[in-house]
Amino acid sequence: MTDVKQHQMPLKHVVDNAEKAIQIAKDAEMAVQHAQLESNPHKLAAALAELEAAQHALGKAASQLDAQDHEHYGQELVQVQDQLNEAQQSLDVTASNTHLPKQVR
């Protein structure tokens, strides 16, 4: 029984990190959308930095998932991996649809 708990803790930690990264990504997307609606270049720049941090967090979570034993924890890891992929794709779309206005001199 102890062995099972010891092996589940790292998986739980990895899944928790992935869920946090997904939430960070959602928050970053919302920040970009709000900044765009307000047409505020300062808020947009900050939101884009947040978006970049979210992309990094998703990448780190994905690599942690890849390091797990997929044969033993297969289905749960596949579901979390799918969620991470969806969040990354969503961030990519948001980033590609976002550009800072050029400063007029």
Q: For the chain, where are the alpha helices, taking DSSP H only?
A: 2-38, 41-66, 70-96
Longest dimension (CA), the chain: 69
Q: Compute the average pLDDT of residues 79-83.
A: 87
- In the chain, where are the structural domains located? 7-96
Which region among 20-24, 45-49, 77-81, 97-101 has the lowest average model confidence (pLDDT)? 97-101
> Measured on CA atoms in the order 52, 25, 56, 83, is the torsion positive or negative?
negative
pTM (2 decimals)? Answer: 0.77
- Confidence band for 80, pLDDT divided at 50, 70 and 90: confident
Q: How far, CA to CA in Å, does 86 sit from each of 26, 34, 38, 62?
A: 11, 21, 27, 12
pLDDT score for 100: 52
pLDDT in tens, 63-74: 988 887 666 667
